[in-house]
Chains A and B, each alone.
Chain A
Amino acid sequence: MPEPSAPPLRNRGYLISCAAFAVLILLVGYPALTVLLESVRPGGEWGLSAYARLWAGPRLGTVVGSSLGVALAGSLFASLMGGALAVVVAKTAAPLRKLMAATALLPIILPGFVTSIAYIFLFGRNGLITYRWLHISWDVYSWKSVLVLQSVDQTTTAFLLSLAALRTIDPALEEAAGSLGAGPWRVLRTITLALASPLGVAGFLLNFMHSMSDFGTPLVVGGPFDTLASASYTQLIGRYDPATASALNVVLLAFCLLAYSGYGVLESRFGRDRVMDQSRPVARLDLGWPGRAVWLGCLLFSLFMLALLGAVLLAAFTRNAGAGVAPTLMYFEAVFTRGFASARNTLVFSLAVGAVSALGGQILAYLIKRVRIPGARALDVLATLPFAVPGTFIGVGYALAFNRPPLILTGTWAIVVLNLVVRKLPMGLRAGASVLARQDRAQEEASFCLGASRLRTFLKVILPSVRTAMLAGGLYAFVTSVQALGSIIFIITPGTRLLSVDVFEAVVRGEVGQAAAFSTLMLAMAGAGAALIMLAATRNGKRHDIR
């Protein structure tokens, strides 16, 4: 690829590169290193005693086994469900496709620790459905509930990736197979799914990482069941054993990095340059009775999702969910007195995080992909790393690293925002890079030819042309920040309370109604963000149509 005739940037390039490295090392490398150090230097003395403690009992084996078992099974189930939903939505003319797509996206605004409340409300030991309607009492606080809830939560990722994969497959290939005499199922199996499978596996690995780092679900519905993530939470919060918590987190990180490297390989191998003929209508398949069975499965999933959403709302408006069904607004009164500061913080912080990570991601993408500042490759890796790092790991890192000299940040809003920005930056960077990859360089070069500087070109040419994509990226960061829990639960203080932590604390205290009311507010914020994303996306689409 020829280099654009850009003005030379030698010396300043090094300067910018050094600055970017310094910031990322401080915000990513330093906290991560602190956790590693804590695990091999418990109480100020070098040694592997923290790891030895993990090996000593049957504990580590059990916890790793539990984590892997639930994560693998949950991701597999999510992949199947998400894949089936994507096929039904994108490839068939089956009824209720829009509803299915919408319910598959619900977990984006309904985080796992919120669905847990709804789940207990419906299927708990005194559940509306299990105990009071069907009169069965099943053991709700167990690994089974963790598996169900994590699968549901991750179906979204699998669905979105499968959908993306299906859309990159040229319908001409399928048509060719069809005209050569293959039935619709055969086409689906040998062409469509075969071509989409690498991205499906990538989604599986992504979900595996996500599930491994989730500590909320096992804590709320796991009962005696513990995973690496939830055990490290209890070690740190309950027993104040940062060394053991760090050691557990290091083990967790190792698994996540392994999955992430696999994901990276698959994603880069999947033909991202393959361009399909967008004008060709998508073939709607008639899949016969097996198709109808798949459709029914998807419908059941959708109903389950709607039931969970409904249960959250019901619990928020029902006095003491369980002891009678008297409607009440008392939990919402508390939302406005108790939850006001949290709601305000959540809104302000998440907006800040959305703006900073979208702009920061775009600038970083430009520096790495276009300007190619020295060390671009290493910067890319460093900035993407937080994506693979479990939330609890980053959270513990921030709690440990930034409340000792040289940099004491505990208790400030800055630490919360910085932590979230670092977590969301990989998404901003990816989004920015993919927009730049699609962008024509002619405008940029024209700008250079007319004598504009790099900075001026970035501000006047690049930024205006990517602003819709940036807006969507920023909003996505906003939505995910609203419900961020694992990375910030260790670093918030009375002045920096957040709704997500209020919800989690209420769930843990057993205040289902209160938690549901707080969740409803969170849901409204995230929902508004998600709606704006849709709006931005459709507007963007329309603009492309006109061109």
Chain B
Amino acid sequence: MRTLKYAGWFTALAVAVCLVAGTARAEEKKLTMYVAYGGPEVIAQQFEAATGIKVEFLTMSSGEVLTRLRAEKANPGADVWFGGGSDAFIQAKKEGLTAPFKAPNASRVDKAFKDPDGYWTGVSLVVVGFLANTDRLTGKGLALPMTWAALTSPDYRDEVSASNLNTSGTAYTTVSGVLQMKGEKAGWPFLEKLYANIPFLTKSGSAPGKMALSGEFSVGIAPDPHILAGKNPNAPLAVIYPSDGVLAWPSPVSIIAGAKHPENAKKFVDWCLSPAGQKVLMQASPRVPTTDVEPLPGVPKLSDLNLVAYDILRWGNERERVVAEFNKLFPKYQ
């Protein structure tokens, strides 16, 4: 009996050792990411199929990623930061949280959409627009807001949903983009009128679109509103790119400083920007690509939009001041 017992323990131990050894070997073919991008499962699957590298990821907003990177500086929990607002990436570069890497395929990206030193490279463009729920608008007797100016009308009071610029890239681009369009002097009073219509701010940039979709709000200020509308062809939705100025920013990819799998991270960054990778990214999230691949049907063409000449670097560097000003002006959101 006793020998049998020991044999049992020994077998268990042997199995455990094999398991540990097995995972240790698998470690080499692994990549971990913090993701603020649509369809991460598709991207992870396709990247694994192309390279055999297994991807583990955690989705969160770009503000959260920045928070994490600061807290984990001594021991980062991920290798790659994928997607989000470029302003957060600019901030991360300043604080030494990301590592430079000039991927061969990055040469295919316009220099307006990447960092000159290679700390981040835009993989696609995020276009800010309105997603309107036509049922709710009709129910409330409201017209489609075709411009930012229209959206500031008191008619839309409590019917507009937007995200919090402390946590969301969309919101920061909205606020700094309006300041870019109108100048700071006219911009802040304009924002005051706009935000008077917004009862509270959501933590995530994608939530306002979802709230318009589910009919909780008439209008959501949303990143890439065409994506939600495309996914829900039968929903009563209207996609609006305001004719008085469309805001857009590149959604970047970066390697995190001190990454545990730096070689896999480099492979991922280059793959994202390759023609094959770009097609996978569009399939995961139909956005305007930053390279010369053809955008998917239903995705707006840049030439059709009245794009604001948005100074990414300037607003990326002035983030702290703008956020502080915003928090001072709108204490109700704190």
Contacts and interface: CB of A to CB of B under 8 A. Distances in A.
A219 B203 contact: yes
B285 interface: no
Given A337-B41, A410-B75, A493-B58, A237 B67 contact: yes
A238 B164 contact: yes
B72 A410 contact: yes
B235 A324 contact: yes
A224 interface: yes
A59 B334 CA distance: 9
A125 B216 contact: yes
A268 to B, nearest CB: 40
B83 to A, nearest CB: 13
B67 A238 contact: yes
A240 B67 contact: yes
A155 to B, nearest CB: 27
A448 interface: no
A323 B235 contact: yes
Contacts of B111: none
Interface in A487-543: 492-495, 497, 505, 508-512
A453 interface: no
A505 B214 contact: no
Contact of A323 (B32, B33, B58, B214): B214
A352 to B, nearest CB: 14
A311 to B, nearest CB: 13
A141 B201 CA distance: 11
Interface in B54-84: 56-60, 63-64, 66-67, 70-72, 74-78
Given A237-B64, A239-B166, A410-B75, A505 B56 contact: no
Contacts, number: 127
Interface in A331-362: 334, 337-338, 341
Contacts of A240: 63, 66-67, 70-71
Contacts of A509: 204, 206-207, 210
A404 B63 contact: no
A320 interface: yes
A403 B63 contact: no
Interface string B233-246: 01110000000000
Given A239-B166, A320-B235, A497-B58, A126 B200 contact: no
A236 B71 CA distance: 10
B43 interface: no
Interface string B189-210: 0000000000110111011111
Given A408-B75, A411-B75, A126 B214 contact: yes
Contacts of B199: 139, 141, 223-224
Given A234-B166, A492-B58, A400 B71 contact: yes
B136 interface: yes
A187 interface: no
Interface residues of B, number: 49
Given A410-B75, A494-B77, A324 B203 contact: no
Main secondary structure of the interface of A (DSSP, over half): mixed
B51 interface: no
Nearest to A495: B56
A242 B71 contact: yes
Interface residues of A, number: 49
B160 to A, nearest CB: 12
Contacts of B202: 508, 510
B265 to A, nearest CB: 13
B25 interface: no
A492 B32 CA distance: 12
B281 interface: no
Nearest to A58: B331
A381 B171 CA distance: 46
A237 B63 contact: yes
A201 interface: no
Contacts of B78: 493-494
Contacts of B58: 492-494, 497
A322 B135 CA distance: 11
Contacts of B56: 341, 494-495, 497
Nearest to A131: B215
A240 B74 CA distance: 16
A125 B232 contact: no
A402 to B, nearest CB: 9
B148 interface: no
A495 B217 CA distance: 36
Contacts of A497: 56, 58
Interface of A: 57, 59, 120, 124-126, 131, 139, 141, 219, 223-224, 226, 234, 236-240, 242, 320-324, 326, 334, 337-338, 341, 399-400, 403-405, 408, 410-411, 492-495, 497, 505, 508-512
10 contacts: A57-B331, A59-B334, A238-B64, A323-B214, A323-B232, A403-B71, A403-B72, A403-B75, A494-B57, A510-B206
Given A238-B166, A410-B77, 16 more contacts: A131-B215, A139-B199, A224-B333, A226-B334, A234-B203, A320-B232, A337-B41, A403-B75, A408-B75, A410-B72, A410-B75, A492-B58, A493-B77, A508-B202, A510-B204, A510-B208
> What are the 9 A-B residue pairs with the smallest beta carbon separation, nearest first?
A510-B210, A322-B214, A493-B77, A510-B207, A126-B215, A125-B216, A223-B200, A238-B167, A494-B56
Interface of B: 32-34, 41, 56-60, 63-64, 66-67, 70-72, 74-78, 136, 164, 166-167, 199-200, 202-204, 206-211, 213-217, 232, 234-236, 331-334
